[in-house]
């Protein structure tokens, strides 16, 4: 039967004393027998006999010492091993093997198991003590006006205060609840910081904890501090500042604009569509002057849909939601798809469009629909601000790593004093307000779109002689590598571009 | 892929639906026009269509749900159909990308006329039959 833990020592002491006494008795008997034999039978010298027996006993005792240790000291060795195993010693000691039945009988196995149980429960207590909900630090954390989250070197949340955007996972740990942009997220920054930095800081703006439309959606500015050798294995501290009150109305506006656009686009689709049907079906019946009216209707309806696209894009751009997906495109294909509508617009306004596009241009990296809007806007401007029978000339040519596209008109031109303001939102010259209709959003969004491609836009104008607008688009082969890394997003190109766009928040998406 | 002949148009705006039906029928296609999401999904799975024109903002079932039911989670209930999403709603980028990945085209209705739609359908036809 196994010995109880409480009796282990008594049992072991008895065993040890008994074993040592047995050995001593054995030695005494052996010594006495040998003395008798040497004295009585061999008649040897008594002094010699004493030395001989003492030497013999000493030798035997030395030989027996390891055995004595093995019996008496072995439990101490096993217990030491078990304690070393559960200690925080950096040198990992393997656990002792106590599976032999003799350990179970002697109670040693139960002792070792008790050591393990004590170690596990004390670890729990230590962890609980760490997460103690009392104490001034915890009070400060619980009442802090911003979220505070600590991450360990594995990127796991080890501490978060109640208002931090985290949620419990199934394994009862905590997980961050922040929807970073794919191209600029916490993991990417952290991976880079780990590779190259000892300390680093990073700020993100407008990071939401859930998708739009969710109840209780919060939007944060997030500050992250990285410290490679942080205490208690805490590598990253995140501070989240709830900016929902400032940011949410923007998103609501965005939703409103998207909904309003949807409502407006419905009737425009019908007007454009039915005009298109009627134009097709009535063509043989219409008098030339009636056809002109029909064309004007079509052009106006088409302009309306263009304005709505501009409003949507400006709204997205202002809220950092304009994202482009650049693909390899032939400029000539894009122009061809726009040509019929543009030609009709020119015809109804009595302008002549002249395309001078070389057929052997390299392909460009462009977001087709956005670039179409730029071309539409610039050619529209050329048509608007020139006179009857005026020419609007569109050219394209290779310029270094870019293709430069220009739109030239020979109209009223722009006074040099206001050229600098042309690309501002809602900017329209005093005179053009009186003469020509428009929203003042066209050039603003053109600049945003072109710079989001990594290109640039410019204007040259002489008042009374006309204006030339030009912009550049990257040649596909020069940016193909960068696009590949970014799932065809434009972030890499924007980073490379010079000027204000580099620090503009738009490249976050 | 067979040449495009049978077209299902799921569109709740009667004016827009009629417009597409008129222009497509005149061009020689057979068009079924359905105005609700539920009915549209049923029609798409019950009958073989070569092309499905799918609106997004639909009653009962949204276009996103129909597209997911037809081509979500790795399955494809309409392997012989092409799907063109036609919407006027300015979706957020994630939803738009998700739809684009499952459909054969994604168009803003206000930006295209019936004649332009025909051109796009012809080009789809050339692409898919040319690839055979």
A462 and A347 assigned to the same domain: yes
Nearest by CB: B22 against A269, A275, A277: A277
Domain range for A207? 144-242
Asked if B4 and B126 touch (Cβ cutoff 8 Å), the reply is no
SS3 state of residue B61: coil
Of A224, A242, A260, which closes a domain? Answer: A242
In this structure, are strands A157-160 and A147-152 parallel, antiparallel, or unpaired?
A: antiparallel
Sequential pLDDT tens for chain A (509 residues): 677 778 888 888 888 888 888 888 988 898 888 888 888 888 888 888 888 888 888 898 888 888 888 878 888 888 888 888 887 776 777 788 888 888 888 888 888 888 888 887 776 666 665 555 567 788 888 888 899 999 988 888 888 888 898 888 777 678 888 887 766 788 888 888 888 888 889 998 888 887 666 677 888 999 999 988 777 888 999 999 998 888 777 666 666 777 777 788 888 999 999 999 999 899 999 999 999 899 889 888 888 888 888 788 777 776 666 667 788 899 999 998 888 889 988 988 889 999 999 989 999 999 888 899 899 989 988 998 888 889 999 999 999 999 999 999 999 888 887 777 788 766 655 455 445 555 567 888 888 889 888 899 999 988 889 999 999 999 999 888 777 655 555 554 444 333 223 223 233 22
Radius of gyration for chain B, computed over Cα atoms and rounded to the nearest angstrom: 13
Query: What total of structural domains would you count in chain A?
Result: 4
* Distance to chain A for B120, nearest Cα, Å: 11
Of A258, A288, A319, which closes a domain? Answer: A319
ipTM of the assembly? 0.89
On the question of pLDDT at B130 being above 80, the answer is no
Any domain includes A342 = yes
Contact B111 A321 (CB under 8 A): no
Query: Residue A486's pLDDT is what?
Result: 55
Residues 6+ apart with CB under 8 A from B70: B41, B44, B45, B52, B76, B77, B78, B83, B102
Contact B113 A509 (CB under 8 A): no
A193 and A313 assigned to the same domain: no
A23 and A114 assigned to the same domain: yes
A422 and A339 assigned to the same domain: yes
Asked if B105 and B85 touch (Cβ cutoff 8 Å), the reply is yes
* Distance to chain A for B118, nearest Cα, Å: 12
A70 and A96 assigned to the same domain: yes
Any domain includes A91 = yes
Query: Residue A468's pLDDT is what?
Result: 94
Of A319, A346, A361, which closes a domain? Answer: A319
Cα gap A128→A67, rounded to integer Å: 46
* Beta-carbon pairs below 8 A across chains A and B: 61
Cα gap B118→B116, rounded to integer Å: 5
Contact B88 A266 (CB under 8 A): yes
B6-130: CATH topology is Rossmann fold (3.40.50)
SS3 state of residue A127: helix
Contact A277 B114 (CB under 8 A): yes
Per-window interface: B 40-59 vs A, CB < 8 A: 57
pLDDT digit string, tens, across residues A179-231: 877 667 888 888 888 888 888 899 988 888 876 666 778 889 999 999 887 77
Residue with token string 């006495």: A32
Nearest by CB: B111 against A277, A305, A323: A305
Under the banding of pLDDT at 50, 70 and 90, the label for residue B44 is very high
Contact B90 A312 (CB under 8 A): yes
Residues 6+ apart with CB under 8 A from A314: A425, A441, A444, A445, A448
Q: What are A202's strand-pairing partners?
A: A224
Any domain includes A133 = no
Residues 6+ apart with CB under 8 A from A400: none
Query: Residue A296's pLDDT is what?
Result: 87
Burial class (CB in 10 A: 0-12, 13-18, 19+), A295: middle
Of all residues in chain B, the percent with pLDDT exceeding 70 is 94
A118 and A172 assigned to the same domain: no
Boundaries of every domain in chain B: 6-130
Instruction: Supply A19's token pair.
Output: 């074993």
Residues of chain B neighbouring A509 (CB-CB closer than 8 A): 93
Query: Residue B39's pLDDT is what?
Result: 92
Average pLDDT, chain A: 81
A492 and A356 assigned to the same domain: yes
Any domain includes A198 = yes
Instruction: Supply A376's token pair.
Output: 């539409």
Distances (CA, A) of A168 to A186, A212, A221, A299, B43: 19, 21, 22, 57, 43
DSSP state of A37: I
Contact A277 B93 (CB under 8 A): no
Query: Residue A421's pLDDT is what?
Result: 77
- CATH at A216: 3.30.450
On the question of pLDDT at B131 being above 70, the answer is no
- CATH at A442: 3.30.565.10
A11 and A71 assigned to the same domain: yes
A115 and A195 assigned to the same domain: no
Residues of chain A whose beta carbon is less than 8 angstroms from a beta carbon of chain B are 211-212, 257-258, 261-262, 265-266, 268-270, 272-277, 280, 305, 308-309, 312, 321, 323, 509
A207 and A172 assigned to the same domain: yes
Radius of gyration for chain A, computed over Cα atoms and rounded to the nearest angstrom: 43
């Amino acid at each position: 039967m196994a010995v109880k833990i409480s009796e282990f020592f008594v049992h072991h002491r008895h065993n040890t004393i008994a074993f040592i006494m047995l050995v001593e008795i054995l030695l005494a008997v052996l010594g006495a027998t040998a003395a008798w034999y040497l004295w009585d039978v061999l008649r040897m010298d008594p002094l010699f006999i004493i030395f001989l027996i003492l030497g013999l006993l000493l030798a035997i005792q030395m030989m027996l010492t390891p055995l004595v240790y093995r019996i008496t000291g072995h439990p101490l060795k096993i217990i030491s091993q078990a304690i070393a195993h559960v200690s925080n010693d950096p040198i990992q000691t393997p656990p002792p093997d106590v599976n032999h039945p003799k350990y179970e009988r002697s109670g040693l196995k139960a002792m070792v198991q008790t050591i393990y149980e004590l170690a596990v429960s004390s670890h729990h207590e230590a962890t609980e003590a760490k997460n103690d909900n009392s104490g001034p630090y915890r009070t400060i954390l619980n009442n802090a006006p911003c979220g505070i989250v600590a991450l360990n070197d594995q990127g796991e949340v080890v501490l978060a205060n109640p208002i931090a955007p985290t949620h419990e996972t199934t394994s009862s740990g905590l997980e961050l609840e922040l929807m970073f942009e794919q191209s600029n997220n916490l993991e990417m920054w952290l991976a880079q910081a780990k590779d190259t930095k000892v300390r680093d800081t990073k700020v993100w703006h407008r990071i939401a904890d859930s998708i739009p439309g969710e109840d209780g959606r919060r939007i944060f500015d997030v500050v992250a501090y990285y410290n490679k050798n942080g205490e208690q294995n805490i590598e990253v501290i995140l501070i989240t500042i709830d900016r929902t009150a400032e940011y949410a109305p923007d998103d609501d506006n965005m939703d409103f604009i998207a909904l309003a656009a949807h409502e407006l686009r419905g009737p425009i689709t019908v007007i454009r569509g039915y005009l298109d049907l009627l134009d097709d079906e009535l063509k043989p019946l219409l008098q030339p002057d009636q056809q002109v009216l029909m064309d004007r209707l079509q052009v106006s309806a088409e302009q309306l849909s263009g304005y709505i696209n501009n409003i949507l894009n400006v709204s997205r751009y202002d809220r950092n939601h304009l994202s482009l997906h650049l693909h390899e495109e032939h400029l000539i294909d894009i122009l061809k798809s726009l040509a019929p509508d543009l030609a009709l617009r020119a015809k109804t306004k009595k302008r002549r469009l002249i395309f001078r596009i070389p057929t052997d241009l390299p392909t460009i990296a462009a977001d087709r629909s956005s670039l179409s809007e730029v071309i539409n806007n610039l050619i529209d401007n050329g048509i608007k601000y020139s006179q009857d029978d005026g020419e609007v000339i569109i050219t394209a040519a290779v310029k270094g790593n870019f293709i430069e596209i220009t739109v030239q008109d020979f109209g009223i031109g722009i006074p040099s004093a206001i050229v600098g303001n042309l690309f501002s939102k809602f900017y329209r010259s005093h005179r053009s307000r009186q003469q020509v209709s428009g929203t003042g959003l066209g050039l603003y969004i053109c600049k945003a779109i072109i710079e989001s491609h990594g290109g640039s836009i410019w204007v040259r104008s002489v008042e009374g002689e006309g204006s030339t607008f030009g912009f550049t688009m990257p040649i596909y082969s020069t940016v193909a590598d960068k696009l590949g890394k970014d799932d065809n997003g434009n972030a890499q190109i924007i980073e490379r571009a010079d000027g204000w766009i580099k620090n503009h928040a738009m490249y976050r998406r | 892929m067979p040449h495009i002949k049978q077209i299902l148009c799921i569109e709740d705006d009667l004016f827009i639906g009629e417009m597409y039906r008129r222009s497509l029928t005149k061009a020689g296609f057979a068009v079924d026009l359905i105005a609700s999401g539920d009915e549209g999904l049923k029609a798409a799975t019950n009958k073989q269509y070569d092309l499905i024109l799918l609106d997004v903002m639909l009653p009962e079932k949204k276009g996103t749900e129909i597209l997911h039911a037809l081509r979500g989670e790795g399955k494809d209930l309409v392997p012989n159909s092409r799907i063109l999403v036609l919407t006027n709603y300015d979706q957020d980028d994630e939803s738009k990308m998700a739809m684009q990945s499952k459909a054969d085209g994604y168009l803003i209705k206000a930006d295209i006329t019936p004649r332009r739609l025909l051109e796009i359908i012809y080009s789809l036809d050339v692409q898919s039959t040319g690839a055979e």
